Structure 1
Amino acid sequence: MKHTKWAFLALIVAFLTASLGFSHPAYATNSEVETFFYKEQTLITPVEAEWSYEGHKGPDYWESLSSEYKACGQGSQQSPINIDTKENASIKEAELDLVFDYNETIYSVEDNDEIFQANSFDLNNNTLMINEDEYRLHQVALHTPSEHTIDEEEFPLEIQLVHENEEEEQLIISVLVEEGKENKILKDVWMALPAKDGVANRAVDFDATELIPELDSLYTYEGSLTTPPCTENVTWIVSNETVSLSEEQIKAVNKVSTENNRPVQELGSRDIFKITP
């Protein structure tokens, strides 16, 4: 059964690569790519996730749905949070050396009912260095409306760029979206969207750099995944600057993914640090 699963996954990768007209056999045979396909399903949304954003399987009940979801109700460092930037807010200053090395990369597009996301085929092609610690970009996920809020303001959409280092420590960059001009990258992603839940039958390539706004100021804190199992010890970096999507694009997201944002969690005794790159 295990060998059958890997063979099936390799077939998917080979098909997607061929459909784009590329002739890179490494995409079909590289074991890391195969491993990523399996790990990707568990990074944000478990393969057999029996949870939802509403009803008796919604966020208020996640803790009780599985023993693996206990952190959703008992954790002390849960995400998302509200970031209070007002003058009397107790935000500390921090220095952080961020070096982005994002490049044009092939992504598969997936709609798994709860999360709409693009999964990278090449983990080595997009890296983020933070104080000499290297993180690799695994996926781009969309939440509507935003999960994080700034001074209690909610945004139409939140783009989350999910990274992981060699120690499997996760770092997520949160980019908030406002209504404005059309975003070409996300337009291309939507064109590859599958007609029903699952992985699209064709991939899309883009440079994730274009999803990152001008980084005038960033906020970082220690939190968790915002979906079950709500794993903690996740580093979040939230941009205070936004990117824009057109009104039509925002409506398109809402058709694909109904409200899929976890409610804001208590900050508790955690610190929020402001970074000026």
Structure 2
Amino acid sequence: MKEIKRACLLAMATFLIASLGFSQSVLAEGSEGQTFFYKEQTLLTPIEAEWSYEGKNGPDYWETLSKEYEACGKGETQSPIDIETEPASKLDGADLDLAFDYNETIYSVEDHDEIFQANSFDLDNNTLTLDDEDYRLKQIALHTPSEHTIDGEEYPLEIQLVHENEDEEQLVISVMAEEGKEDKVLKKVWMALPKADGVANRAVDFDASELIPELDSLYTYEGSITTPPCTENVTWFVSDEPISLSDEQIEAVQKVSSENNRPIQDVNKRDILKVQP
């Protein structure tokens, strides 16, 4: 069955590549999995005005760059935040119906100067269900160093799995990465990283569930997306169990995405709930 599934995935990739004007797939040198060249895709969030992580277009000025970005400065439920584990109220896992249905999927791998990301080619292939509401995995974004901190601790890398439901409401699963052993399962994903700034123009197939550690406990709160326009009403689930990546894997991301973490935002009157199984 796995061979049939992989054959179907490769056939889908060939069709997509052909429809984008490319005649054949190309195996990335040294990769343990196949990657395919593809045509540049677009960001999920349209860019209304140029923004950055430093200087006059940096986070302190986002709200002034466009009327669409006002929430970046005036919003009351902005992300990221520091997750304080001890004071967090507890939510029994039995009170929260959270289920994953992830499958091997082809993703486009891109570097848009500020954000390194992977966009799903099949939005119906990976779903997360929260209390009978389905959210589709649309994008995986990497931030270095981490945007969220846990008890004030910053991690070298944060992986954000961005989901969206039919009403365009977003739910993000956030996983920290720490230095340690190489993640062999994800090695082919890193092989698709561009060697310099710019769009990678490649796609790779992998199972996003391999990006998520054992979820012994999660912290959830209501926040926003962490880039302009800083839209609020985003549900966040932050794992306090990091995955392990080698120094080389983390450095590979840092080479194409220099510091791209938004500063910590005020919690204000929000509740941070610890979800226990």
TM-score (norm 2): 0.83
Check the 8 A contact 2:88/2:274 in 1, yes or no.
no
Alignment of 1:99-114 (within 5 A): 99-114=99-114
Assess, with a 3 A threshold, how the Cα gap between structure 1 residues 91 and 12 changes in structure 2: closer, same or farther: farther
Matched, 1:190 2:190: yes
Matched, 1:14 2:16: no
* 1:130 aligned residue: 130
Superimposed CA distance per residue, residues 180-205 of structure 1 (whole angstroms, 9 cap, x where no aligned partner):
11123543223223355544333100
Check the 8 A contact 1:19/1:202 in 2, yes or no.
no
Assess, with a 3 A threshold, how the Cα gap between structure 1 residues 17 and 155 changes in structure 2: closer, same or farther: farther
**Could you say what the CA RMSD is over the residues aligned between the two structures, in angstroms?**
2.2
SS of the residue 2:110 aligns to: strand
CA distance in 1, matches of 2:223, 2:18: 34
User: What's the offset of the Cα at 1:49?
Assistant: 4.3
Which consecutive residues of structure 1, in runs of 5 or more, have no partner in the other structure?
1-9, 22-36
Moved over 6 A (4+): none
CA distance in 1, matches of 2:19, 2:220: 35
User: What's the offset of the Cα at 1:98?
Assistant: 1.2
Report the residue type matching 2:251 in the other structure.
K
* 1:42 aligned residue: 44
Check the 8 A contact 1:72/1:78 in 2, yes or no.
yes
Which consecutive residues of structure 2, in runs of 5 or more, have no partner in the other structure?
1-15, 28-40
Assess, with a 3 A threshold, how the Cα gap between structure 1 residues 269 and 13 changes in structure 2: closer, same or farther: farther
Higher helix share: 1
CA distance in 1, matches of 2:173, 2:78: 16
* 2:31 aligned residue: none
Superimposed CA distance per residue, residues 220-242 of structure 1 (whole angstroms, 9 cap, x where no aligned partner):
00000000000000000001111
Q: How many residues align?
A: 248
Matched, 1:253 2:259: no
User: What's the offset of the Cα at 1:207?
Assistant: 0.2
Report the residue type matching 2:97 in the other structure.
D
Check the 8 A contact 2:144/2:261 in 1, yes or no.
yes
Check the 8 A contact 2:116/2:141 in 1, yes or no.
yes
* 2:32 aligned residue: none
Superimposed CA distance per residue, residues 50-85 of structure 1 (whole angstroms, 9 cap, x where no aligned partner):
110011111111111111100000000000000111
TM-score (norm 1): 0.83
Q: Percent of pairs identical after alignment?
A: 70
Assess, with a 3 A threshold, how the Cα gap between structure 1 residues 143 and 101 changes in structure 2: closer, same or farther: same
CA distance in 2, matches of 1:17, 1:272: 50
